[in-house]
Structures are given as C-alpha cells and as structure tokens.
Structure 1
Amino acid sequence: MTAHPGKGGELAAVLLRVAERLYGFPGCEIYLISQDAGNPDTVYVTEVWQDEASAQAALAAPSRADGPDPADVLALLSSPPHRTDLTVLGGVGTPPADGKA
C-alpha cells in the first residue's frame, strides 16, 4: 500500500491496530505489517489464512468502536492497494503444506 506523502507512519499505525484485532481470530495464521526501509510511505501487509472463508469472515466482522475502520485505511492511501494472492507451500512460521506437524 502506498500512503499519501508523509503518511506512511500513520498508515502503519492503523494497520497495526487492525492486526491487534486479529490476534486469536479463527483461521488467521499470519498478519504482518512491514514498512519499506527506503520509502516509509510504502507499507506491506502479509496475510496467511487457513482458508478463504476465514479471510472473508475477518473482513465481514463488525468493526469495534475502539478499532480502525476500513475507511480509515483507505483515506490514507494515495492509490488503490495492490494485492497478490499466493498459495503457501511452507516455511518458517507457517504450518506444513501437508498439514502434518
């Protein structure tokens, strides 16, 4: 995601508040917020979900009164977010692709 100039820190802060809401959310395995070291107005969200239904449930969950709203994120963006869907095959921090521990 690319924030309006000078708003990368604010965007990252809002996304970190989203991440707090997802602790313990069913199906959320990773929700990682990163900021580009060379361009702090670029913020990355890396998400790993057990399945698409879990990800959609998180999007459909009602916003908390004390939490950020999707509109809070969108207002900080200078362009629409870029999304890349991947199939996780494995690695450190993820369950094995075959489901065996």
Structure 2
Amino acid sequence: MHSSARNLPRCLREFVRGSPDRHRAAHFLLPTFAAAQGTAMCGLVTRFKAQPGRREALVSLLLADVDGMPGCRSYVVAEGPADADTIWITEVWQDEAAHKAALQRPAVKASITAAMPLIASFGRQRETRVVGGYGLGERRGYAKEDTGE
C-alpha cells in the first residue's frame, strides 16, 4: 500500500488494499484528502487568443522548457477546435505557493515576456481546488522522441 494511504479513513484504506492496482487507487484517492490536511492542490484554467495566425508559434513557446517546475503536477496546453486562435492552459500545482514560486523563475519570466506579443487577448482565468484525478501522482511530460518525430 502507498505509504501515505495511512492518512485515509479506514474504509478507504481497505478499498486501496483490496484494489488490484493499489498504487493507482492510492494516487486517485490521496489528493482528495490532501485538502482536509491543509495541503490542497490548486488548479488554473486559462483561455486566451493568439494573434491571428500566431497560435502555433505561441503553443510552441508555451511548451518549451516546461520540465523541472517544482510543484507542478500537470501542465496542459490545448488548442480550441472551433477557433483557429484559441488556446487553453490547464495547470495543477502542489499548492498556491509552488505556482507563485514558478512565476518568479527566470526561465518562466522570459517565456512570459516572449509570449506577450503573440497574445491578442486574455479570457477569464478560473482557479480551482483540485480534489483528485488520474495522473496527478506522477507528472509525465511529452517529448518529440516518444512519437518518433
């Protein structure tokens, strides 16, 4: 059983123990109870528009150097399928302090500065309190060599 599963209520510990994939069950349930321990993950969902015809360049910039951000559990850049200029970013951070610290990193500041001329407008940013989900226990990155490109 995952070592942190001891923090779960007894009935859920038994569920994890009896699950065929104990680690996946623990990773799914543990973030749900992190909030009760005062360590809630925070999430951000942001929509914005690239300058006309500049979305591909902006996406490339947003995906550059995303590895190695301490406290980042998930960082997803997605294109809006109905609009050639819309971009969505969904982020999950260990906590709000980790996100604020990332914004102070020189590489992040440089990326933001480089991205600004490519952004036409910002939509509303939504903050969320992340309570769980698949993939949050271990951050996996995308690499071109994984696809054979």
Task: Report the TM-score, using the length of structure 2 for normalisation.
Answer: 0.55
Contact in 1 for aligned 2:62/2:111 (Cα 8 Å)? no
- When structure 1 is superposed on structure 2, of 44-53 and 80-89 the one drifting more is 80-89
Aligned counterpart, 1:36:
80
Query: Is 1:46 equivalent to 2:90 in the alignment?
Result: yes
The 5-angstrom pairing of residues 1-101 of structure 1 reads 1-17=48-64, 21-63=65-107, 68-95=110-137
Cα distance, 1:7 vs structure 2: 1.1
Identity of aligned residues (%): 34
Cα distance, 1:37 vs structure 2: 1.7
Q: Which amino acid aligns with 1:16?
A: L
Q: Which has the higher strand share?
A: 2
Cα distance, 1:15 vs structure 2: 0.5
Aligned pairs, number: 90
Q: Which amino acid aligns with 1:44?
A: W
Unpaired runs of 5+ residues, structure 1, are 96-101
Contact in 1 for aligned 2:63/2:77 (Cα 8 Å)? yes
Cα distance, 1:91 vs structure 2: 1.4
- When structure 1 is superposed on structure 2, of 25-34 and 68-77 the one drifting more is 68-77
Q: Which amino acid aligns with 1:7?
A: R
Q: Which amino acid aligns with 1:69?
A: S
Counterpart CA distance in 1 for 2:112 and 2:67 is 18
For the aligned residue pairs, the C-alpha RMSD in angstroms reads 1.9
**Residue 60 to residue 68, structure 1, CA distance change in 2 (3 Å):** closer
SS in 2 for 1:78: strand
Detail structure 1 runs of 4+ shifted over 6 Å in the superposition: none
Counterpart CA distance in 2 for 1:55 and 1:29 is 10
Unpaired runs of 5+ residues, structure 2, are 1-47, 138-149
Larger radius of gyration: 2
Q: Deviations over 1:69-99 (max 9, x none)?
A: 312111111113431100111111224xxxx
